[in-house]
Chains A and B, each alone.
Chain A
């Protein structure tokens, strides 16, 4: 066990242990006499030269650091940091005289007591933001579930701010602004305009296409009923087609599969051709695994698709397009006058017919309208009674809790106050429901509370669970358990948590948590160099993220050990990714577990292209970035950011550029200013040097010099400050599994807890984290069990 970690363990135990409390008024506004007399002199002698008025190494300044921890949470974090570095003997640095035993006892004793009191005082206090706004994803899912209408609700909302640890559901980091408010109103109105309809039923339009009917089309494609990658099937409707409402497209087809190739992928999209471009949006895709004739159905809302201006343009009409997206990556054949040769080795889709219907409704008014507004017989009622009925159904769902009569009355009053201005009942009703959709009760997870802690109610618990595991509002079953208050019963809760994890909707948790914890969105922000990786296709990035997410999902659903995130004997692949990694015989786009051989180098997150690519430059690996990622995301021990105005290296020396990355970093580390941090950063990344920018294994580094490439050997061996040798990726994995299980387990627990609670973890949570981590480790690091434990933990049940 590395010494730093050991010391941290001791520290935590000490924090838990009851300490003899001295009469030190640590929370007074001014530093206590004890501090001034006993502690400050030590700081002045040993620390202030580098952490004082003149210099603030690592941005830490101790002579003015407040001793009033209650005034500012971050002060407590800083003192905690002080304790860590003196406990680990990281400070004073090697080349300075160390603290004497007595000085150490006095300084660490004071800090420890001060922190202990802080933890005790805050433990009783409610002071964390849990009152958090729905983020874009949660808003999108909640609106869809609440109204049942498919729409891009979050399109106009500004991107959400992540917290320091990368989470986008942190109440403190999530802002609210007038701009957002404006779009919340506009979005609610737009959605309600579509759901609440008025007037007689429109005509239902239907058209069947037997063959592709478009004459002029763009690009190097051929119109055909027989589809490979160079053909399309196009059905154009120039007259009579509707422009709003739900549509249904039925495609009847058969296919020809090919040995040792993937399955054909049928894609249906809707759009039009505005002259020199085509504008389409995909309705859906399906992988076709049988040759039999079959019919697939695709649905959507016309308003969500690009629609031409009726009767205008050179190529008028709304177009339904069908393609076969399967492409094995081989060079495309050249067409001759718009005709492309058959590619006998590629799978084929034969379109028999395509049927388009819109608007689709089984009766008028349609289902979504009835769900909100009640049945047609309701329209006989008095408007106010009608509105009251609508509100009694809608508000509890929108606010995720029961509502009182007086709350309903407030909305009815609003309805009354605007009714006269609007010509129809429906228009006034839309406005009234819009009011609900901009209320804090809808937009925020509201948990009223005073300064004291209190247990959450069943309804609050239902919302917490639902936004944790599904990123959306509670479903009917969960709500019913809240309604009869049985959710707070242990066995009911456990049964609900397990149900929610096995439910398909938990993919939202996997998606959101892995994206934010592992910073997967960066995959899209790294531009892959065409020089270094000429064949790289950007569509592969999606498959890379897919691997990591499917991997995590499997560990979760099968309750496997989370240690497999560090090293595993399997990973998830589909055809495209297997081809990239060099595995044979994996066909189709679905991910499946692939057993790894011992020397495959793909085990755990550190063998996955998503992680390797997102921490690269797009041309080459980036050892420092990868190292920082490991320490931050896996070990919860991020290095300090570089200090202001770091001295620059004499990189102008052309010889420097000829050095390998490892050697360049060594030169870097020779500088004292860089060394103190980089000696514990670089080795973590150096170990992964055998992986190039796109996550492929290499034994040579290619570097472009002028127009040519030169090669340098890979050196992936380095030494950590504790003396451990890391021999490449395999050595790093071994080291992590053997020496870092505890910090990793603790890190995963902390990050999951932060995500589950929607707030930053702080010192006062340490006890809880200790407990969860201990149980987690004793339970073989089983991932699903950990999620269940977190959802059952005290923090999750306390406001």
Chain B
């Protein structure tokens, strides 16, 4: 086993902490204590990939590579594409027929941005609206060290309609995604400054710094033209947000970073990058799992691939895993004889990685349940076959302890907007919600037997 820098830090950490007890908001050990167990944290996360899935005709010889299962309700059978998820059959529901009505009016490659928002974007109007994960995050933001974990393969925000993030703030502005495993790890689990007095000094001075910047910037803003002012508002709101974050950091300073288990550190491949897709996806899933397990955050999104095609680092993922064409090419092969098999194999590859994530979440116990039982896990795309903005392939997993009923393949008609799913997810998350975007109600089927 290679010894990597983050392994070494474990030793330093163990030396330093001397096994002192850790005051985390929620801990496994507390469940066994005499005090009554606090309610388990509820989590929500969403994964996305671009260009859709394989969907050869039902009567074709490659029907076994249709992404959607055969049958309906409880009486369904996974095809080869989703076979790796068989063992989680009772922890998930496959959803068919859903899509965003606004998305159906948009370009075939333009719907990635609105997967979690349901907004309408076109050439003349590129302003998005808040994403469901951020609505959830806003309700628990003071509970955890980080309000959410936003990941993607490309990082940053990308450009409208080809963005490289799934998350949008309350004003519809994209939140930059992180894409470097090492950076994510350091941010969430690194020791930070060992000297906490020095750290406190700097937090307090940062707070003053931000006050001052905000004050001076207001006078600068008055000197700017109208459009510049609008743009500059971004800077000001960033400063305001980070002020809150600094405040939060101050209150979290006394609480040590979460203690990771040896095997958790050992499994991490923080050196992985977009040259090794399988390893990278698993590492990202591992980081999400650890963030949930340690209650460092309760909300996460991960854009595995997007529809930026040649300008995305993920475009070449299939080739790096031994497939013959890039992501876009693979997706376009869905109705060619060889193409259907290849695309199906790719869908299966993706499902294997997703299964790995479910396995991690399921194996971490929380009281009588698992982290998975307390997490709402959405996995899907905004195309069925490529260019086609209907019938999103979707899986909702976990949340058995939050009232979700699983083990079924539910089919819906075009009259049910996907936002209804978000309303149900938010309610299960604990955020009482009547409507989200263009919703027309709840997806009651999910909570009824």
Contact = CB atoms under 8 A, between A and B. Distances in A.
Interface in B303-335: 310-313, 315-316, 319-320, 324-326, 329, 335
Most buried by B among A133, A159, A162, A189: A159
Contacts of B400: none
B212 A131 contact: no
Nearest to B204: A421
A410 B219 CA distance: 13
Given A177-B175, A525-B310, A619-B324, A418 B205 contact: yes
Contact of A176 (B202, B235, B339): B235
Most buried by A among B105, B231, B313: B231
A39 interface: no
Interface string A442-455: 01101011110000
A609 to B, nearest CB: 16
A78 interface: yes
Interface of B: 1-5, 8, 104-110, 122-124, 154-159, 164, 173-179, 183, 201-202, 204-206, 208-209, 212-213, 216-217, 220, 223-228, 231-232, 234-235, 238-239, 241-242, 245, 310-313, 315-316, 319-320, 324-326, 329, 335-337, 339, 385, 387-389
8 contacts: A275-B2, A313-B3, A314-B3, A421-B201, A522-B310, A642-B387, A648-B385, A651-B339
B311 A525 contact: yes
B107 A651 contact: no
Interface in A302-323: 306, 309, 312-314
Contact of B228 (A130, A312, A314, A657): A130
B348 to A, nearest CB: 20
Nearest to B329: A617
Interface in A417-465: 417-418, 421-422, 427, 431, 434-435, 438-441, 443-444, 446, 448-451
B205 A644 contact: no
Nearest to B315: A525
Contacts of B156: 158-161
A97 interface: no
A352 B297 CA distance: 56
**A-B pairs with lowest CB-CB distance, top 3:** A448-B223, A158-B156, A527-B316
Contact of A522 (B104, B204, B311, B385): B311
Contacts of B5: 274, 306
Contacts of A160: 156
Contacts of B158: 159, 161
A614 interface: yes
A244 interface: no
B177 A129 contact: no
A710 B184 CA distance: 47
A642 B108 contact: yes
A160 B154 CA distance: 11
A618 B178 contact: no
Nearest to A614: B310
A72 B124 contact: yes
Contacts of B205: 418, 421-422, 431
Given A435-B212, A438-B213, A526-B316, A643 B228 contact: no
Given A59-B107, A644-B387, 10 more contacts: A128-B227, A131-B231, A158-B156, A312-B8, A414-B209, A427-B201, A438-B209, A614-B310, A617-B329, A644-B104
A381 interface: no
Most buried by B among A158, A625, A657: A158
A180 B174 CA distance: 13
Contacts of A451: 225-226
Contacts of A181: 238-239, 241-242
A529 B245 contact: no
Interface string A113-127: 000000000000011
Contacts of A648: 335, 385, 387
Given A75-B124, A131-B231, A421-B204, A435 B245 contact: no
A375 interface: no
Contacts of A410: 212, 216
Contacts of B320: 527
A527 B108 contact: no
Interface string A273-293: 011110000000000000000
A672 interface: no
A179 B175 contact: yes
Interface stretch (A167-175, A553-561, A725-733): A167-175
Contact of A440 (B107, B217, B336, B387): B217
